[in-house]
Amino acid sequence: MSHSHSYTDLLRLNAWIRKNADTWHFHCATRTVQESKLFPVPAYMVVSYLQAFYRYPPLLRRLAARMSPEAIGDRLRETSTKGSIISLSCVPEFYLAGRQTLIELGLMRATDALDDLVFVQDFAERVNLAYHRNHAHVLPSDCNLRAQLLPERRLQVFEADAIGMRAGDRLHTALKRFMATANQYVLLSHCESRLGIWNHGPYRCRANEEMLVRGFADLGECDLPWLDGIAAEVSHNNLTLPTIVKDTHFHIVDDWASFEATPAFAHDNVVAVGLYTSDFLSEGEIPVAMDNAATLAEFLAHENEILGRATRELWKRMAGWSRDQMIDAGAMVYAAVAKDFFHVAGDYRPDDWFTIDACAQAVKPLLNDEYARDFLAELLGYISLPAQQGSSYNMNKWFDGQGDMWTPVPYAVLDGDEYTSSSGPLRGGWTSLEPKRGPYLTTRGKLDLEAYNAAAAGFTPASCAPRFRYLDDAWVRDHADSALADELYRLDQRGSRHLDGRGAGVTRDELDALRAAGDVAATPPPASSGDIGFLAVHGLAVKKSGSAAEVAALMGADVAAIEQALDAAVAAGHAVAGAGKHVVSPAGRAWLDAAYPVVCAAYRAEPGFAEAYERFEVVNRQLLALMTRWQSRDIGGATVANDHADRAYDARVIDELGALHERAEPILQRFGDFEARLAVYFELLDAAYDRVLDGDGDYMSGVRVPSYHTLWFEMHEDLLRLLGRTREP
């Protein structure tokens, strides 16, 4: 019967409840309806709400005896774990959603479990206040959907050490693939929820740049029991990727740690990235493979493979689950948003989070797909349920509706109205899933649970120790010259490539200089169509894939010079090499597309060139028809493969080729008047024709020799590119 809350307490509580109702509605309503063909998502969401309602009060009370919510919020801010923006914002909401569910079902009233409600909401608010202290808004939605979590000391290191890249280069490509794979993997491992993916920021960098700090949590063998074995090869449990993006403004970074940008985020605009890991046992963020662009790209590619493999294995494991197992897994992932508070304190117990409370289990027979979906739609979307409604004068913050998502506490409990204190102590629970058996991947290697808890309980990172804990940016403003400020900054600078030991005095100008030195310079555009760098990439584009010798032959250029130019193209990210062949990369194509209008401006403006091309098109159609006749014959109305047994037939086709070759000559020579190297095609075609005349039919249309057709096709491609035209069907 405890309740000794004051009027002020309840005023603050109800304002906090309404804030949560408003932001939750905004976040739910701006997402598409959560439906999955694999997981029964709405059903597991309802179970998770009830799990949160029954379990958070006893668990958080146990935790509070060891550690304050503020200390936990500070610790989570200094590292990047599952205890991220989205988890922290979900803790109060999930409890409120469980409470509202029971109120709507008639199983409790708004005055019930009053002390639980006050305790859980107070705890959750205080964790969020400490976590978000740098920007001093309790939730990103209070800051117009912006989440500037980190102080300068950390951001300077992130920015200074971020490794430059350019669209299409190796690091850029590896990063793009890794982000795609990691997103896919984490969405799957979190039962199609976003709880393992987070972003915060943006943070202004250079004039046209913003940094978004992105990351993934619980990648390795961790609390999620279903990653045992499957994630054994994963290198780090948590990854942090400070991502610097040009010409993009992140106008939304929300309470669910998701972002939106104007213009839309495009990977091509990423100019630099870093990679770190951290957890409850690390001194802040530890750089990963950040020696240089090559080591980072290599690591991302390596990890990409591992996560891709793990995704495939995990999908197979989950596809074998029963509906009950899927509901348990999803409900546990959701309700476990508070689990990392307990890791910080070294009091993590798997049964708290990875069994389902008996009272939540009982409700499962209600949770068919339709009820769960429609209940959530009414609860979170339409706000149409009875206990959500206000009077007919009421107008909701967002949509003027009569309801608000979460029912407040009636103040009459201050004056004798009946209430209850708590829904009771921690109950037992169970799950139809396999329990956790494997080790826990940490920054100190793989540990068993006992060792992990013991290490966490005995550890406080220096930045959270009494000497530094209260030294925020507001203090730094007035004490930047002090030895203590230098010490504080050096904590984050440990292991930094550029700032190790520098202290608090690093200026914006110095960062600009460091960044400029690290920028990957754009390869200058070619000066002319004879530029060897242009010829190498253009020739490769014409050839599709080929060796330096093949490209050189086609471009009428020196092999050694083309070889050197292709090496440079690979280094610049314009081409990819492998097994003696090269291929133009997406960035290389973009570079070419930008170059053509410049280097080909003269031909494109020249009517004679276009006229020659129109004449070529006529011959081209004849050539294609002729090649088809060479490959197939019409026999008795049926088209059959030409087996070349009929020498007379073949001879007629070869004669036709001779005539066509003669007709083509003046046209092809005309191209040479505009671009001398194009004359090489006639020489090459002449050689192929000679081989055909010598009886080597392969030189007609074979694909394994420089046949007449292949050369013609390549010449056509060359002309199309020079003229900026597309191929006719």
Partner 1 sequence: MSSHRPARKWARPPQSRTVAFYHRRVAELFAARVAASGKSWAAAVWDGALALTAADYQALEDELLASGLRFQMSAGISLVEAPEKYEQVAAVDDLDDVEPDADGRRLAGHGDNVFHVTADVVGTARFIKSVDVVMDMLTHGVPPDTVAIIDDSGGTLTAPILEGFTAVVCKGGSVRSHLGILTREYQIPCLMNAEVRGLAEGDRVQVEYSVAARPPYEEAGGAGRARVWKLAAEDGA
Query: In whole angstroms, how close is the CB of 558 to partner 1 at the nearest point?
Result: 25
Written in H, E and C, the secondary structure of 207-228 is CCEEEEEEEECCCCCCCCHHHC
Q: Which is nearer to partner 1, 362 or 610 (CB)?
A: 362
CB neighbours (10 Å) of residue 666?
11
Q: Which is nearer to partner 1, 86 or 359 (CB)?
A: 359
Q: What is the DSSP letter of 276?
A: E
SS3 326: helix
Report the alpha-carbon distance of residue 221 to residue 227 in Å, rounded.
5
Q: Which is nearer to partner 1, 511 or 623 (CB)?
A: 623
Q: Which is nearer to partner 1, 579 or 605 (CB)?
A: 579
**What are the C-alpha distances in Å from 53 to residues 93, 138, 426, 470?**
10, 22, 11, 33
Torsion 588-589-592-594 (CA) sign: negative
Candidates 701, 715, 718, 722; binder of partner 1 (CB under 8 A) is 701
| Among candidate residues 588, 591, 651, 573, the one with its CA nearest the CA of residue 293 | 573
The full length of the chain comes to: 729
Please spell the DSSP secondary structure of 349-373, one letter per residue: -HHHHSSEEHHHHHTGGG--HHHHH
Report the alpha-carbon distance of residue 493 to residue 514 in Å, rounded.
15
As beta bridge partners, residue 164 has 272
Query: In whole angstroms, how close is the CB of 500 to partner 1 at the nearest point?
Result: 37
Query: In whole angstroms, how close is the CB of 324 to partner 1 at the nearest point?
Result: 9
Query: In whole angstroms, how close is the CB of 365 to partner 1 at the nearest point?
Result: 4
Report the alpha-carbon distance of residue 424 to residue 358 in Å, rounded.
13
Candidates 362, 483, 560, 571; binder of partner 1 (CB under 8 A) is 362
Report the alpha-carbon distance of residue 340 to residue 226 in Å, rounded.
18
Report the alpha-carbon distance of residue 275 to residue 289 in Å, rounded.
7
How would you label 389-411 residue by residue, b for 16+ Cβ within 10 Å and e otherwise? eeeeeeebeeeebebbbbbbbee
Report the alpha-carbon distance of residue 174 to residue 179 in Å, rounded.
9
Q: Which is nearer to partner 1, 38 or 516 (CB)?
A: 38
171 and 163 Cβ atoms separated by less than 8 Å: yes
Q: Which is nearer to partner 1, 87 or 100 (CB)?
A: 100
Candidates 576, 664, 668, 692; binder of partner 1 (CB under 8 A) is 576
**Binding of partner 1 at residue 386 (CB under 8 A)?**
yes
Which residues from 461-480 bind partner 1, rule CB under 8 A?
none
Mask: binding to partner 1, 42-61, rule CB under 8 A, as x and -? Answer: x-------------------
| Among candidate residues 85, 36, 26, 53, the one with its CA nearest the CA of residue 380 | 26
Query: Which runs of consecutive H residues, i.e. helices, occur in 532-606?
Result: 532-543, 548-555, 559-571, 586-599, 601-604
Q: Which is nearer to partner 1, 7 or 371 (CB)?
A: 371
Report the alpha-carbon distance of residue 21 to residue 380 in Å, rounded.
9
287 and 239 Cβ atoms separated by less than 8 Å: no
Report the alpha-carbon distance of residue 382 to residue 349 in Å, rounded.
37
Candidates 583, 619, 679, 723; binder of partner 1 (CB under 8 A) is 583
CA torsion angle 38 308 201 398 (round to 10): -10
Which residues from 324-353 bind partner 1, rule CB under 8 A?
326
Q: Which is nearer to partner 1, 365 or 458 (CB)?
A: 365
Report the alpha-carbon distance of residue 183 to residue 181 in Å, rounded.
5
Query: In whole angstroms, how close is the CB of 387 to partner 1 at the nearest point?
Result: 6
Q: Which is nearer to partner 1, 204 or 725 (CB)?
A: 725
Report the alpha-carbon distance of residue 623 to residue 151 in Å, rounded.
68
Which residues from 587-646 bind partner 1, rule CB under 8 A?
589, 624-625, 627-629, 631-632, 634, 637-641
Candidates 363, 619, 679, 723; binder of partner 1 (CB under 8 A) is 363
Q: Which is nearer to partner 1, 607 or 636 (CB)?
A: 636
Candidates 374, 593, 646, 665; binder of partner 1 (CB under 8 A) is 374
Candidates 247, 291, 369, 673; binder of partner 1 (CB under 8 A) is 369
As beta bridge partners, residue 147 has 201
Which residues from 542-571 bind partner 1, rule CB under 8 A?
544-545
Candidates 419, 591, 682, 689; binder of partner 1 (CB under 8 A) is 419
720 and 604 Cβ atoms separated by less than 8 Å: no
Mask: binding to partner 1, 145-184, rule CB under 8 A, as x and -? Answer: ----------------------------------------
**Binding of partner 1 at residue 254 (CB under 8 A)?**
no
Mask: binding to partner 1, 423-442, rule CB under 8 A, as x and -? Answer: xx------------------
Query: In whole angstroms, how close is the CB of 55 to partner 1 at the nearest point?
Result: 14
Query: In whole angstroms, how close is the CB of 287 to partner 1 at the nearest point?
Result: 28
Q: Which is nearer to partner 1, 208 or 322 (CB)?
A: 322
**Binding of partner 1 at residue 683 (CB under 8 A)?**
no
Which residues from 8-37 bind partner 1, rule CB under 8 A?
35-37
Stretch that binds partner 1, among 124-132, 214-222, 455-463, 701-709 (CB under 8 A): 701-709
SS3 528: coil
CA torsion angle 251 255 259 263 (round to 10): -20
Query: In whole angstroms, how close is the CB of 217 to partner 1 at the nearest point?
Result: 25
Stretch that binds partner 1, among 149-157, 355-363, 490-498, 556-564 (CB under 8 A): 355-363
Query: In whole angstroms, how close is the CB of 308 to partner 1 at the nearest point?
Result: 10
Report the alpha-carbon distance of residue 193 to residue 34 in Å, rounded.
9
Report the alpha-carbon distance of residue 557 to residue 61 in Å, rounded.
77
Candidates 64, 567, 702, 723; binder of partner 1 (CB under 8 A) is 702
| Among candidate residues 182, 188, 187, 192, the one with its CA nearest the CA of residue 34 | 192
**What are the C-alpha distances in Å from 329 to residues 67, 318, 332, 431, 557?**
28, 10, 5, 9, 62
Stretch that binds partner 1, among 281-289, 379-387, 437-445, 450-458 (CB under 8 A): 379-387
Q: Which is nearer to partner 1, 411 or 470 (CB)?
A: 411
Query: In whole angstroms, how close is the CB of 248 to partner 1 at the nearest point?
Result: 21
Burial class (CB in 10 A: 0-12, 13-18, 19+), 325: middle
Stretch that binds partner 1, among 69-77, 385-393, 525-533, 662-670 (CB under 8 A): 385-393
Which residues from 85-144 bind partner 1, rule CB under 8 A?
104-109, 112-113
Token pair 């989440």: residue: 147
Q: Phi and psi dihedrals of 410, rounded to 5?
A: -65, 135
Query: In whole angstroms, how close is the CB of 666 to partner 1 at the nearest point?
Result: 24
Stretch that binds partner 1, among 136-144, 371-379, 649-657, 689-697 (CB under 8 A): 371-379
**Binding of partner 1 at residue 673 (CB under 8 A)?**
no
**Binding of partner 1 at residue 385 (CB under 8 A)?**
yes
Which residues from 266-325 bind partner 1, rule CB under 8 A?
321-323
Number of residues that bind partner 1 (CB under 8 A): 81
Query: In whole angstroms, how close is the CB of 703 to partner 1 at the nearest point?
Result: 5
Q: Which is nearer to partner 1, 458 or 578 (CB)?
A: 578
Query: In whole angstroms, how close is the CB of 557 to partner 1 at the nearest point?
Result: 21
Stretch that binds partner 1, among 55-63, 309-317, 648-656, 696-704 (CB under 8 A): 696-704
Token pair 């020498």: residue: 647
Query: In whole angstroms, how close is the CB of 366 to partner 1 at the nearest point?
Result: 5
Report the alpha-carbon distance of residue 273 to residue 242 in Å, rounded.
6
